[in-house]
Amino acid sequence: MISPSKSYFKHTVYGLRLLFRIYDREDKAIRLPSLKRDAPLPVVLSMKECRQLFKSGKMLKHRILLCLIYSAGLRQKEVRNLQQRDVDFDRMQIHIRKTKYRKERYVPLSPLMAKGLKKYYKAYHPKNYVFNGKDMTSPLSARGVQWAMKEALKTSGIQKDACVHTLRHSYATHLLEFGMDIDTVKSLLGHAHLTTTMVYLHVARISKTDRFSPFDRLYEGLQG
């Protein structure tokens, strides 16, 4: 017997649900199976593509902006709300305050990123926020961040369907590929649940170790 396709199953459920509601049979409509949305895997840039992208920004401000998003795994809103007081050059960390789940966190400040930020500060003299908008008292707009990413992608020649959030996806995936444990990655990303972070295990190219029994390692190195 051939199983129906997802599309056939979905339209059957939708049709029955509508029919039951027309005839005031809400109890039957509720008992129908729920339909989960397809969850596509995130788009991730390779390290080579990241380097291409970061050198493609037309302005120093835009290059530093994109580098900072990737280097700290920031959400778009987080980088826009980032204030200069949140970047601690002495302790080499960044304080993320206004987060999606209102849960503050610290992420490491890359030494290379710190050097780039100081160069940017010297050239642009931003006020309060790390990245100002047209008005020096307000943060860079969401459209401004998106425009910087769009223009850099266009210049870089990268063909992937990438967006600003792709940099965060790439950050998480690359950390896993470098051997960082998933619980630490979850903490750095500020995820509320580990299941959210686990999606990156499906795209990370993690080398597999040879299979072995833990019993073999139990007595490894012991004499006699």
Is 75 known to be catalytic?
yes
92: left (phi over 0), alpha (psi -120 to 50) or beta: left
Write phi, then psi, for 174 (nearest 5 degrees): -65, -35
Q: Catalytic annotation on 191?
A: yes
Catalytic residue among 70, 120, 171, 200: 200
| Active-site residue identified among 62, 75, 80, 174 | 75
Nearest to 126, CA basis, from 114, 137, 111, 116: 137
Q: What are phi and psi of 95, to 5 degrees?
A: -95, 115
Question: Catalytic: which of 91, 97, 100, 160?
Answer: 100
The catalytically annotated residue of 61, 63, 168, 186 is: 168
Whether the CB-CB separation of 86 and 186 falls below 8 Å is answered with no
Rounded CA-CA distance 79/70 in Å is 10
Q: Examine the residue annotation and report whether 200 is marked as an active-site residue of this protein.
A: yes
Tell me, yes or no, if 98 is annotated catalytic.
no
- Residue 62 annotated in active site: no
Catalytic residue, candidates 17, 25, 105, 191: 191
49: three-class secondary structure by DSSP: helix
Pair type for strands 87-88 and 93-96: antiparallel
Catalytic residues: 75, 100, 165, 168, 191, 200
